[in-house]
Structure 1
Amino acid sequence: MRQLRRGHLTAALATALLAAPAAAQTIYVETGRLIDGVSSTVRTGQCIRIEAERIASVAPCGAMPAGATRIDWSAYTVLPGLIDLHTHLADLGQSADLAAPMKASPAETALVGARNARVTLDAGFTSVRDVGTYRGLTDVTLRNAIERGDVPGPRMWVAGAYLTIPKGGGELNGVVPNEQLPADMRLGVAASPEEAAAKTTYLLDHGADFIKTIATGAVLAIGTEPGAPELSEAQLRAIVKVAHARGKRVTAHAHGAQGIKNAIAAGVDSIEHASLADDEALQMAKAHGTWLAMDIYNGDYIDEIGTSKGWPAEYLRKNRDTTAAQRQAFRRAVELGVNIGFATDAGVYPHGLNARQFAYMVRYGMTPMQAIQSATGRAAEEMGRSDIGAIVPGRYADLVAVRADPLADIRALEAIDHVMKGGVLVR
């Protein structure tokens, strides 16, 4: 146990924690610096008692409970497990091959998703909101496999498919005539408010946790423009009505200002990207309490890697048209106090690099603590969850530990030292 008190987990302890059900033991975690995800106070000398996957208490360290396993993280900053609100785990990832999503079967896509899930968890992201896949409902399969313990991965909340107009930003355009695409790649295609409502019902009936709508064109979709509205306000209202009646949230992919305003007016809960938001759109978001999920890191990745790997010129042009504007909109949203959650569009860039966005959020106006909270307590708030995102009693014991101080250098979160999910040590 002396070796543990020096901050080094023995191989035997790591194996025991990985193998044993969390409910079978009490775990006592000694922290150095504690950031709880909801307050701005950094506490020292705190110990976290974990029972049955959840946090039972957080208090100054004292005598270890009888029979408990002690983990010494006294040399680390301990934070809640991180949350990414915009990922695409159950997908192949972006490449120059437009047909890649169609070439992979649903089974292959799910297996790739399992790999993506493990990498994401290992990077310290213990929960994600997965906002769509071309192979509809593959994300439901992956979520269920993680929940059963078949594969390791973060807690997932999934959209099932994209709700999009025909040939819109949620379709696999430019490969074959869209009508010839596999049926599971068009589960959310809707041409009218009535069809949009019916598709919403279908996705919720088949396991979707929330609904993802495509309110404008997309950067990474052939034949669509980010500034152009797509789903109409009437379609969006029909979707929101069905989802909210069932207690489910709705988010809208929306780059252009008018599409953002249409979505907010229709009652969506959050906006993805918000790249071309004007001041009126940001003021609307603030007035309505609408959340923004702005992926301000990956524009640089798309420009560099997309150019070197031969991604379609249309993609690269649209990325250049939106990247700088999005970052300025983010800065203005921070100034206005608009609700902002941590969201990266992981899958456009390799999974596991999610934490690279923190430095961009600080560069464009957030304090390090605000950036951390956007991926912990605030992200949980955006999802309507009271069981994740904070180190407080009653929440899941999802924790990360980093030796460096992320408040002094936010990039410390790019190299997480230890990860725990539900009281089980991941590494």
Structure 2
Amino acid sequence: MLAPSALLLLVVSAAAPAERPVLLTAARMFDSRGGTLVTPGRVLVRGERIEAVGPKTAAPADAQVVDLGDATLLPGLIDAHVHLRLELTDNYQDYDLEALQKTVPELALEAAERARRTLRAGFTTVRDVGNEREYFINVGLRRAIQKGVAEGPRVIASGPQLGATGGHCDIMGFREGVLVQDRGEGVADGPDALRERVRWVVKNGADVIKVCATGGVLSAGDDVDTSQLTQAELDAVVEEAHALRRKVAVHAHGNTGAKRAIRAGADSIEHGTFLDDEALTLMRQKGVVLVPTIFLDRVRQEQLQRGAQFPPKVLQKMKQVGQTGRDMFRRAIQRGVKIGFGTDAGVFKHGRNAEQLALFVELGMSPADALRTATTVDAELLGLGSEVGVLEAGRRADVIAVPGDPLRDITAVQRVFFVMKDGRIYRQDAAAPAPKP
């Protein structure tokens, strides 16, 4: 079942790419290849592509010049782990209502609004890794955005998550206090059955395969670190996905399940909370990308301070993953693991994605390397290395602007005031916010 036609009725107000070239100028520009600043920043855009960059880039006679002042131009940011169909509140029971009671048109329209918010926060590309009841909404949203009838980032869509019966991706099987005689769309057991699910999601438009190898935090029926798929099952998923030229993102908090996924040839490990040094070394050797969603712990602390209520089992798991995940992140940096940027937005409010970059820096990553996780690293992970993630001639014209210098103050990326995607300007505030003193 594909996303409903209601989604396609949305009207987008953003202007089409300008017929004449546009020269964007600012005090500086971030070179995401070298991790340095170029001064001044100048990017010439023609249609959907960048035509030229660099301090000496001149404006053609017919160009529109957009001077963004004391700001930094950056490539549009990328978030490799979002759930646009979802946005949890402080009331855990809303999670039940989201999964069990909302109609498909309602879910699709809400996802479109979240996509718009994400784009305006400076994220021009996202990888939506689905839900247990996805209805291929992220595939439909991707198409609607491509057609220009919905406003949002470029979407790499997984369709429904794959996983084992009763596992984290089968969250429909058990809700807190409620047994539902149903199962998630991607649930299967055994190598052959999981191969069939891979083929099925690809048939219905999936760009990437998302599979759950271990337990999770918000699934009340399992432990967060348990392994839920055998080596043979993960081998089958990865082999089938790669045969169909799809990458595989593996949800794995637990160490054993993560190691099985790494040995199977997974492209990324999502979360990675309990990874030990052996697992991190194996990831570095095999070039597997770690997508640590460590901002979640900070969000959960905010929720608890506001009086949010969670089931005891879920609350216990929240406490279990917080400090452990931060410690794992520090060790991953030390061991040279390739780290991508993904936030799990949807488990918290969409549009706050960039706040995780400040946490990366707080935990030991340089501002330049933090920005590269959300540009060059994610671009390669998503298979878009020749299209996005770098401001250079021939690339997609995805350009954002933030006040001041983000290499001095990484929180500047939380104050995006200009957003261009594919040569279209989606946000241009009347005045840039002042840099923090």
Q: What TM-score, normalized by structure 1, do the two folds share?
A: 0.92
Distance in 2, matches of 1:158 and 1:123, equals: 20
Q: Tell me which of 25, 31, 35 is aligned to 1:36.
A: 31
Give 1:180 deviation, angstroms. 3.1
Task: Give 2:238's aligned residue.
Answer: 240
Task: Give 1:180's aligned residue.
Answer: 182
Give 1:28 deviation, angstroms. 1.0
Query: C-alpha deviations, 1:102-155, integer Å up to 9, x for none?
Result: 211111111110111011111111110111123321111111111111111011
Task: Give 2:382's aligned residue.
Answer: 383
Q: Is residue 92–residue 347 contact of structure 1 (8 Å, CA) maintained in 2?
A: yes
Q: Is residue 297–residue 322 contact of structure 2 (8 Å, CA) maintained in 1?
A: yes
- Residue 226 of structure 2 corresponds to residue 228 of structure 1: yes
Alignment of 1:365-404 (within 5 A): 365-385=364-384, 386-404=386-404
SS for the counterpart of 1:107 is: helix
**Amino acid across the alignment from 1:424:** R
SS for the counterpart of 2:201 is: helix
Give 1:222 deviation, angstroms. 1.1
Give 1:32 deviation, angstroms. 1.3
Q: Is residue 291–residue 339 contact of structure 2 (8 Å, CA) maintained in 1?
A: yes
Stretch moving more, 412-421 or 39-48: 39-48
Task: Give 2:85's aligned residue.
Answer: 90
SS for the counterpart of 1:376 is: helix
Give 1:60 deviation, angstroms. 2.4
Q: Is residue 91–residue 134 contact of structure 1 (8 Å, CA) maintained in 2?
A: no
Alignment of 1:42-81 (within 5 A): 42-61=37-56, 63-81=58-76
Give 1:37 deviation, angstroms. 1.8
Task: Give 1:129's aligned residue.
Answer: 127
Alignment of 1:109-188 (within 5 A): 109-136=107-134, 137-172=136-171, 173-175=173-175, 176-180=178-182, 186-188=184-186
Distance in 2, matches of 1:257 and 1:189, equals: 22
Task: Give 1:358's aligned residue.
Answer: 357
**Amino acid across the alignment from 2:182:** Q
SS for the counterpart of 2:245 is: coil
Distance in 2, matches of 1:250 and 1:370, equals: 24
Query: Number of aligned pairs?
Result: 406
**Amino acid across the alignment from 2:198:** T
Give 1:20 deviation, angstroms. 4.2
Q: Is residue 133–residue 139 contact of structure 1 (8 Å, CA) maintained in 2?
A: no
Q: Is residue 303–residue 316 contact of structure 1 (8 Å, CA) maintained in 2?
A: no
Distance in 2, matches of 1:313 and 1:174, equals: 15
Q: Is residue 403–residue 415 contact of structure 2 (8 Å, CA) maintained in 1?
A: no
Task: Give 1:340's aligned residue.
Answer: 339
**Amino acid across the alignment from 1:99:** D
Q: Is residue 380–residue 388 contact of structure 1 (8 Å, CA) maintained in 2?
A: yes
Distance in 2, matches of 1:271 and 1:260, equals: 7
Give 1:62 deviation, angstroms. 5.2
Task: Give 1:8's aligned residue.
Answer: none
Distance in 2, matches of 1:333 and 1:196, equals: 30
Q: Tell me which of 194, 204, 207 is aligned to 1:209.
A: 207
Give 1:178 deviation, angstroms. 4.3
Q: Is residue 270–residue 292 contact of structure 1 (8 Å, CA) maintained in 2?
A: yes
**Amino acid across the alignment from 1:91:** L
Distance in 1, matches of 2:237 and 2:102, equals: 29
Q: Aligned pair in 2 of structure 1 residues 29, 105: CA closer, same or farther (>3 Å)?
A: same
Query: C-alpha deviations, 1:340-396, integer Å up to 9, x for none?
Result: 001111011101111110111011120000000100111101212121111011111
Q: What TM-score, normalized by structure 2, do the two folds share?
A: 0.90
Give the unaligned 5+ runs of structure 1.
1-17
Q: RMSD of the alignment, in Å?
A: 1.5
Give the unaligned 5+ runs of structure 2.
1-12, 428-437
Distance in 1, matches of 2:203 and 2:70, equals: 47
Q: Is residue 293–residue 340 contact of structure 1 (8 Å, CA) maintained in 2?
A: yes
Give 1:63 deviation, angstroms. 4.1
Q: Is residue 30–residue 61 contact of structure 1 (8 Å, CA) maintained in 2?
A: no
Distance in 2, matches of 1:217 and 1:67, equals: 57
Q: Is residue 38–residue 55 contact of structure 2 (8 Å, CA) maintained in 1?
A: no
Stretch moving more, 413-422 or 172-181: 172-181
Q: Tell me which of 182, 190, 193 is aligned to 1:192.
A: 190
Give 1:41 deviation, angstroms. 2.4
Distance in 2, matches of 1:32 and 1:207, equals: 42
SS for the counterpart of 1:111 is: helix
